[in-house]
Structures are given as C-alpha cells and as structure tokens.
Amino acid sequence: MTAKPRPIRKAVFPVAGLGTRFLPATKAVPKEMLTVVDRPVIQHVVDEAKAAGIEHFIFVTGRNKGVIEDHFDTAFELERTLADRGKRAELEALQREVPGAGQASFTRQQAPLGLGHAVWCARDIVGDEPFALLLPDMLHHANRPCLAEMIEAYNQHGGNHIAVAPVPEDQTHQYGIVGVETRDAKVSRITSMVEKPPRGTAPSNLHITGRYILQPEIFDLLQTQERGAGGEIQLTDSMITMAKQPGQAFHAVRFDGAIYDCGSKIGFLMANLAYAMARDDLAPLLKAEIRKLM
Ligand code: G1P
C-alpha cells in the first residue's frame, strides 16, 4: 500500500491584482472586497477553502489592499456595539468568520510580475509542504466545494492537481489549457499544459479554472522562471517543467459546477444573481423583481 499523501493544511490566495477591469469601483476598494450578495468575493473563496479543511490562510497582497487584512481580523468597536445592542446572532456570525490566532498570514507582492511571481512570494510561509492555491476572481459555485473534491482526489493519487472545466473553443486563448489522458473522467492524468495558447493551437478545450494543489518543489522552479505569455512570470510554465520531473504527476479534476469570473462585469453580475437565487431568503423576491425588469 502506498503511503497517504501529506495533508493539505495551507492555502494561498493571490490578491495583489489591480482590478483595472472594474474601475472606478476598484480605485479605493480592492476588487476582492466587492460583494457578491452580502459577502466579499474573497470571503466566498476563503469559505471554500475552510469547507475543504484548510487551516492556514496565506494572502499575497499589494499596495492599497490593507482592508483585506482588516476584514479577516476582529472588529472590536463593531463587535462591542453589536453586543451592547443584544445582536447576538450577528455578533456570532461575524466572529465565526475570523481565522483563529496565527491562522492567517499576509505578505506583499511588491511588483505586478504575474501569477507565478505572486505564488513564489508565499514560499517562506508555505514552507516545505504541499498547499492549495485559489485564485479569488474565480468563484466556483457547487453543492460540493471544488477544493474539497480536489483534496479527495489528491488523497487518492498524491502529486499535483488542477481543477479544469470546458470552455467554448473561441475562448481557449484566454486561459491555461490542459490536455488529458481520459477526456471525460472526473480525474485524469494531464498530458500537456499551455498558458494562453494562440487561437487554434489549444490541446483541448479544458481550461485551468483557478484551483490548484501543488507540491512545494514548485517554488524552486518559480524562482528562476522566465517571463512567458503577456510578459509575466507564469505559474503554468513552471508547472510544465515540474510535470517532467520524476514523481510529480499532474492530475486534472473536472469541476462540474458553475464558475463566475468576478474580474469581469458580466461574471460578477451573474455571480450575484446565482448566489442570491441559491438563498431561500432572497430567491422569491429577486425572481419577482427580475420579472418586473424584463
Ligand atoms: C490565470 C492562470 C490561467 C488560468 C486563469 C483562470 O490567468 O494563469 O492558467 O486559466 O488564471 O482564471 P489570468 O486570469 O491571471 O490571466
């Protein structure tokens, strides 16, 4: 029997992006703090990680992102006011959201050099253990959280895992794309990867959705990774190199839920609708209001 793979305890959230697609909303407010219904986008993604058993949350932030740190801290005055007003339920809900002492870390990416560089900035906090990586723009909506499914697959196969889902052929150039051994399997060995392939050259239509489980050896590769697509240090390029190393298999875990790219206006609006529709307290009212609008 093979040994059980090492547990995934830590998750990295790269939140340094400028959010230029959302100006002027993101001039003073980080894009990760825009709300989907009544929770910031980043909170939804942290919730997904928590539901998968993650214990330590590592945020790679940047300038003007301090409010993210505040969001995951105790808000003393607010809690005091809620307590004084007897709002117990609200107070407890707020307190449940805050990571325990020492369970959240923040580091800064000083220059916008790309996703690969942002992940590399977390190397010392992650240390020598496999970790999860969640891109906060991409909300994964499903009954079973995406990362939980991935950890289940990881516990079975070990190695590295990437969540994938099909996209229309005319969009493959916007994403990382993978080729797999068995097209329709829930979990399949990855046979090729490419970051933002030119139109007509993608090995499949399965795109990297923004959820990863990676072995710590990725950090050594990122350290010397040259710039790739878009002139940025690309995580995918280091993953391609790592996949060639012995014992570093990459698996694709097919995600069957809905994905909303909250970095785009339509994705963000659709996320708000979908998350509200999934709530009993909002869905009936919202449906009635939408009917009026149509
Ligand atoms: C990044 C990854 C890409 C992935 C995408 C998902 O690209 O590099 O492989 O498909 O996230 O959103 P970015 O969106 O930063 O250009």
Arithmetic mean of pLDDT over the chain: 95
Q: Confidence class of residue 1 from pLDDT cuts 50, 70 and 90?
A: very low
Q: Sign of torsion, CA 219 61 39 138? A: negative
> Measured from the CB, is residue 212 less than 6 Å from ligand 1?
no
pLDDT reported for residue 184: 85
Cα(261) to centroid(ligand 1), Å = 10
Segment 15-51, tens digit of pLDDT: 998 888 899 999 999 999 999 999 999 999 999 999 9
Sequence ranges of the domains in the chain: 10-164+179-191+204-258
H/E element holding 186? none
Mean pLDDT over 145-165 rounds to: 97
C-alpha Rg value of the chain to the nearest Å: 20
Looking at residue 2, what is its pLDDT? 60
**Residue nearest atom 7 in ligand 1 by C-alpha distance:** 175
The answer to whether residue 262 scores a pLDDT higher than 70 is: yes
pLDDT of residue 18: 85
In this prediction, residues 169-196 reach a mean pLDDT of: 94
Q: Is the CB of 115 under 6 A from ligand 1?
A: yes
Between the two ends of the chain, the Cα-to-Cα distance in Å is 59
What H or E segment, with its residue span, contains residue 157?
Answer: helix 146-157
143 C-beta neighbours (distance < 10 Å), count:
7
Half-sphere exposure for 290 (CA within 13 Å, toward CB): 12
Question: What's the Cα-to-Cα distance from 174 to each of 117, 163, 168, rounded to whole Å?
Answer: 19, 16, 11
- The answer, yes or no, to whether residue 229 has pLDDT greater than 80, is yes
209 C-alpha to center of ligand 1: Å?
7
Average pLDDT on 153-170 reads 96
Q: What is the mean pLDDT of residues 271-276?
A: 98
**Class of domain 10-164+179-191+204-258 as given by CATH:** alpha beta
Residue 53 has pLDDT above 70, yes or no: yes
Buried b (16+ CB within 10 A) or exposed e, 162-173: bbbbebeeeebe
What's the gap between Cα 292 and its chain centre? 35
**Distance in Å, CA 112 to ligand 1 centroid:** 14
Distance of CA 137 from the midpoint of ligand 1 (Å): 10
Could you please report the per-residue DSSP string of 29-96?
S-GGGSEETTEEHHHHHHHHHHHTT--EEEEEE-TT-HHHHHHTS--HHHHHHHHHTT-HHHHHHHHH
- How far is ligand 1, taken at its centre, from the CA of residue 87, in Å? 41
232 close to ligand 1 (CB < 6 Angstrom): no
Under 8 Å between Cβ of 121 and 111: no
